[in-house]
């Protein structure tokens, strides 16, 4: 049930996008127990002036124009521990496969409810009993 | 008060976009009792590699590259029944008018509060009393 | 910790974008007590048919094709009063510096939790104790 938005600069290759996409999906399935094949993601490439980050860095991390923003809306209820392992797994995977700097991956989560999803056909597939 | 994000592939015509936009708005007003003229929507067209969905399908639905993502932030408090009728209405309408496959419409909702909206002029128009 | 999405039409200049970006950031730091250097923003420019607003206006405001959408995900817990002062400050600033019509600035807020942020390195920097 997650909806994932990935925002990157315009130089991002299809390979990079596929690696980020797969890293998020794999971490969801393996760490956050999201069902298999629940892979709905929207990528947007941006001009240089459309991606804004603090040149001074933040909380000890420094950022480059290759920063990757990952925003996820998913079903609420996951534990702090699960979310921590999820972040680490996504970033390790992207770093290992595409040599992206670990500091350049920002992840933001938003929780919603079971009744807030329709995966096609105009049906509320997760309707509460 | 809803803010609607509609994400489609780059081949989406202005006619298709207008039909999706109107379907969402009409369902809001008629099913979800959103006030008239409360129509704020942001559409983004995407390259082929920017729209990601499971090739295996999900929960019995199968998807094509014409998949349409609709994400809505609106005021919390609507019932499960209202949300169910809202999904059905949006998808029926898009299907009937533009011959979009019903499986290709994904809808995701996020609730927020009365104090979370400014519709211009820097004012909180729905401020709690 | 806010993640800001700014959506504008394709004619938006780099100067306008910088003014909107800075207005949002400055209001966050000065009014909403967001930490310094916490400036993460994603801008998207849109074709004319991708930005949709009610031609009749809404709640007494009227809109033009220069409408600016600002959506912010941030840590929940800010007061109604803070949010009101935040809206006013952002809009006054953009209006003063870029002569944008005050009616043309829409702001929408979404709250999340401390555990919902990773600012790089795969770490949950705001982890609850």
Contact A50 C73 (CB under 8 A): no
pLDDT at C22: 98
DSSP C65-87: TT-EEEEEEEES---HHHHHHHH
**Residue C25's pLDDT band (boundaries 50, 70, 90)?**
very high
Classify burial at C10, counting beta carbons within 10 Å of its beta carbon; exposed 0-12, middle 13-18, buried 19 or more.
Answer: exposed
Query: CA C32 to CA C29: how far, in whole Å?
Result: 6
Q: Considering CB atoms only, which of C51, C63, C107 is closest to B118?
A: C107
d(CA C107, CA C71): 6
* pLDDT for the residue numbered C26: 98
Q: What is the per-residue pLDDT for C96? A: 98
**What's residue C69's pLDDT?**
98
Q: Which residue of C has its CA nearest to A111?
A: C112
Q: Which of A10, A87, A103, A105 to mutate to test the interface with C (most CBs of C within 10 A)?
A: A87
Model pLDDT for residues A110-122, shown as the tens digit of each residue = 999 999 999 999 9
Bridge-partner residues for A99, per DSSP? none
Res. A19: pLDDT tops 80: yes
CATH fold, domain C3-116, is Macrophage Migration Inhibitory Factor (3.30.429)
Q: How many other CB atoms are found less than 10 A from the CB of residue C114?
A: 16
Rounded to two decimals, the pTM is 0.98
**Per-residue pLDDT tens digits for C29-48:** 999 999 999 999 999 999 99
**Whole-number pLDDT of residue C97:** 96
CA separation for the pair A107, A4 (Å, rounded): 10
ipTM of the complex: 0.97
Q: Do B120 and C104 touch (CB under 8 A)?
A: yes
Give kind and range of the element (H or E) at residue A33. none
Could you read off the pLDDT of A76-113 as tens digits, one per residue?
999 999 999 999 999 999 999 999 999 999 999 999 99
- Inter-chain CB proximity C37 and A52 less than 8 Å: no
Q: State residue B129's pLDDT score.
A: 77
pLDDT of residue B62: 98
A/C interface, count of CB pairs below 8 Å? 110
Spell out the per-residue pLDDT of chain B, length 129, in tens: 799 999 999 999 999 999 999 999 999 999 999 999 999 999 999 999 999 999 999 999 999 999 999 999 999 999 999 999 999 999 999 999 999 999 999 999 999 999 999 999 999 999 987
Mutate to test the interface with C, among A52, A57, A101 (most CBs of C within 10 A): A52
Residues C49-68 have pLDDT tens digits of 999 999 999 999 999 999 99
**C79 has a pLDDT exceeding 90:** yes
For residue C106, give every residue at least 6 positions away whose Cβ sits within 8 Å of its Cβ, in sequence order, or none: B3, B40, B118, B119, B120, C67, C68, C69, C70
A117–B91 C-beta distance less than 8 A? no
Nearest to C53 by CA among C41, C64, C42: C64
pLDDT at C1 exceeding the cut of 90: no
Res C119: pLDDT:
98
């Amino acid at each position: 049930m997650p909806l994932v938005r990935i925002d990157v600069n315009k130089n991002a290759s299809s390979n990079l996008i596929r690696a980020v996409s797969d890293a998020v999906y794999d971490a969801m399935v393996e760490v956050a127990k999201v069902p298999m094949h629940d892979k709905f993601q929207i990528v947007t490439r941006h001009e240089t002036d459309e991606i804004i980050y603090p040149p001074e860095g933040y909380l000890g991390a420094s950022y480059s124009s290759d920063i990757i923003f990952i925003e996820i809306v998913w079903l609420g209820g996951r534990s702090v521990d699960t979310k921590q392992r999820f972040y680490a797994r996504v970033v390790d995977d992207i770093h290992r496969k595409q040599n992206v700097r670990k500091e350049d991956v920002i992840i933001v989560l938003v929780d919603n409810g079971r009744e807030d999803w329709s995966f096609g056909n105009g049906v509320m597939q997760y309707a509460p009993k």
